[in-house]
Structure formats: C-alpha cells, structure tokens
Structure 1
Amino acid sequence: MTTKNYTAFVSHSWDYDKQLKNLKSLIEKNSTITIDYSEVTVDNRINSEQRDYIRGVLKKRIISSDVFLVMAGMYTSYSDWMKWEIETAKKNNIPVIAVKPRGAERIPVIIQENADVIVGWNSNSIVINIISAIENSSV
C-alpha cells in the first residue's frame, strides 16, 4: 500500500498545545498517510504583532493546505483567531474536519455550522475522513 502525503493546517488554542501534539501522534499511528503541518504553534510563532500581517501569513498557510483540521473543544467559541481560521478555510473551499477532544460532550456552534465532518478521537476515523475529504474536494 502506498503512503499518501498531505498538507494540513490544524486550528487549535495555544492554551491546549498538548492536544495538538496528541492529535499529531494519533494521526502518525496510522501508516497510510503522512502529513506536513502548516499551522502556527507555540514553538513556531509568526514574528510579528501586526494583525493584518499575521492574517496574511495564516491565510497563505490555510489555502495551501489539502485539509483544515480544527480541535473541536468549547474554547473554540472564545477564540477570534480560531473562528477567523475556520471562516478562511470555508471561504477558500478547504475541507474542514473537526476533531472532538477525548471526553468532549459538546461541540461549539461555529464548528457545527462549518465542519464538513466531525470525528471522534480515533486514529482510523480521523485518517479515513482526511483522505475522503481531500479526494471529494478534488473532484
């Protein structure tokens, strides 16, 4: 079986950086795909405080991604950056996959209204939906 390589932007909260790392580890457990990640992290920041500049950099990364993953924690409701990232992905026809953090019972409205699919904290489910979303968006 051939391993497919994709680019993903993961919208997340820096306050929950461990969830991002855990998500990446979960995806890496599945050997059918590899992912190059393009999001901005606590360890890989944009060296600017200019909002328009930051948005420009983020937009380039989002629209050059094959898929947009978003951590579907309730904190998303309170993050203007995450809301903007989701809206940017949707406006540019990037497939949006929401991943429910382990144990999460509620999903923010912004995610319910914009996610193409919402998946649980399961490696196979996440990977299958990444492949499906990308293949369906390129048709």
Structure 2
Amino acid sequence: MRGRASYEMVSGDIARVRDFVREFLISAQNLRGWAVSARALDVAQLVASELATNVCKYAPGPCLVDLEADGTTLGIVMWDSGSVLPVASAADPTRVGQHGLELVLMVCKSLEVHQETVGKSLRALIDLADSPDTPLFGPATG
C-alpha cells in the first residue's frame, strides 16, 4: 500500500503531515486488515512530525512525503530541497531543543539519509506491530 502527498511547509503543514500518516495507517487497518499497534501509530506520527519540523527549520520550501506499508513495516520517505544532510547531535541532557533526530533514531527500525540530485531524502522504517523485543523507550544502557 502506498501514499504520497506534497506540502509547501507553511503554517499548519506539520500537523497535516501527521494527519496524512495517521489516516494512511487507519486505512491500512480498515482496507487491508493489517495490525497497526497504538505504539506504531504514535511513533509514525512522531517521526513524521519531527522530519517535517526539520524541513520547516532547515529547508523551507516544498516537501514530498511517500508512505509505503507491506503489512509489517511502514516506510516514511520525506524529500526536501535542502542540500545539508542532517546529523544527530551528541547526547547532551543540558541542551535545550534540537533532539528531534535523536528521537527519530531511537524509535525507528532504521533511518537512511540520501543526497539527491536536488535536495535530500530521509527514509524511516517503523514496525507496525509490537513484538516482545520491541523496546518502548529505545535501547537500554548500562
């Protein structure tokens, strides 16, 4: 199942991206009968929101969002016209803000960043169903 939307990344578009992801996953449940956990629905919206926020902050202008699900995994691909590739900052509990990419890395199965002919694309993969080994808050440390 696939979906695509484009946004100018003006006021309210981050919420529209989040809504697009939620509606896509609800359609996947209703039309295909795929299991989508509440956690996956929340994580997908969080990831889409964080990626869209980065577009607004660092690559203002048009943005394309492609969604693809196979019944077990959701792929979110976000393309923007910015040429600078995002890099997660080193962990710093005293830093205020700029934790979006860190969060995305913690909750996704994988994240790929690609330089494109024009701009860049980010591809996040999210498991749709919970499993016993699905961490709730990222990998344990210590």
Structure 2 length-normalised TM: 0.28
| Higher-helix-fraction structure | 1
Whichever of the two has the greater Rg, that structure is: 2
Structure 1 length-normalised TM: 0.29
